[in-house]
């Protein structure tokens, strides 16, 4: 089995929200979509699109008929050994662009449950917060929660903590996904 070590980072956000993952090359792009959803903390409410070497891959071909069916393409078949960077856009309204860097292609040293999150930083933005501008407005509101103009946003965000990155919870969820994919 070939492993792809991928660094996935939300574009246009500073400080960066990112994850480093190990994913089997035999996984389809559809599987990778679910890995990204879990690792980043998204809820899978919206459409998405991978763009690799100028081609679009999606699970919703009625949205853009020229796109390719992501469930028919394995990571190793699409990326091979030469593709080092590609993108994944989630939620076309908020337009969350993820830049994905292939950091390493390797054979596993020893058997492990895959996929796995190796490291990362910060919590994913809340679903439907309004993209990058809405994310920054939410962070600003949380810094000054007593201001009258911020109260609705603070209430909407409830217990969301932008600093929270729980790698153990992510890996528990990824392990469950890995077991479902093996079946």
pLDDT at position 150: 83
**pLDDT (tens digit per residue) in 17-69:** 999 999 999 999 999 999 999 999 999 999 999 999 999 999 987 767 788 99
Q: Confirm if 42 and 124 have CB atoms less than 8 A apart.
A: yes
Measured between its terminal Cα atoms, the distance across the chain in Å is 17
pLDDT at position 147: 83
Domain ranges of the chain: 3-122+165-182, 125-162
pLDDT at position 161: 92
Q: Confirm if 37 and 115 have CB atoms less than 8 A apart.
A: no
Using CB atoms within 10 Å of the CB of residue 62, give its burial: 0 to 12 exposed, 13 to 18 middle, 19+ buried.
exposed
pLDDT at position 183: 59
Backbone dihedral region of 39: left (phi > 0), alpha (psi from -120 to 50 degrees) or beta? Answer: alpha
**pLDDT (tens digit per residue) in 75-101:** 999 998 899 999 999 999 999 999 999
User: Does the structural domain 3-122+165-182 have CATH classification 3.40.50.2300?
Assistant: no
CA angle 140, 21, 89 (to 5 degrees): 55
d(CA 154, CA 138): 7
**pLDDT (tens digit per residue) in 125-176:** 999 999 999 999 999 989 888 887 888 888 898 889 999 999 999 999 999 9
* Residue 112 pLDDT grade (very low, low, confident, very high; cuts 50, 70, 90): confident
pLDDT at position 168: 98
CB atoms inside a 10 Å sphere around CB 105: 16
Q: What's the average model confidence in pLDDT over 103-121?
A: 90
Please indicate, yes or no, whether the overall pTM of this predicted structure exceeds 0.85: yes
Closest-CA residue to 72 (of 122, 105, 27, 123): 27
pLDDT at position 65: 72
């Amino acid at each position: 089995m070939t492993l792809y070590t991928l660094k996935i980072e939300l574009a246009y956000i500073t400080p960066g929200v990112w994850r480093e993952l190990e994913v089997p090359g035999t996984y389809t792009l559809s599987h990778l979509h679910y890995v990204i959803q879990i690792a980043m903390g998204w809820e899978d409410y919206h459409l998405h699109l991978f763009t690799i070497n100028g081609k679009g891959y999606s699970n919703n071909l009625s949205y853009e008929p020229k796109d390719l069916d992501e469930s028919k393409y394995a990571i190793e078949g699409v990326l091979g050994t030469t593709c080092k960077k590609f993108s994944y856009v989630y939620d076309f309204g908020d337009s969350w662009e993820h830049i994905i860097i292939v950091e390493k292609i390797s054979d596993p040293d020893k058997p492990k449950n895959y996929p796995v999150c190796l490291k990362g930083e910060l919590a994913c933005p809340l679903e439907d917060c309004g993209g990058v501008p809405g994310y920054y407005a939410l962070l600003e509101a949380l810094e000054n929660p007593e201001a009258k103009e911020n109260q609705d946003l603070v209430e909407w965000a409830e217990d969301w903590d932008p600093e929270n990155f729980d790698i153990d919870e992510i890996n528990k969820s990824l392990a469950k996904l890995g077991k479902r994919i093996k079946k």
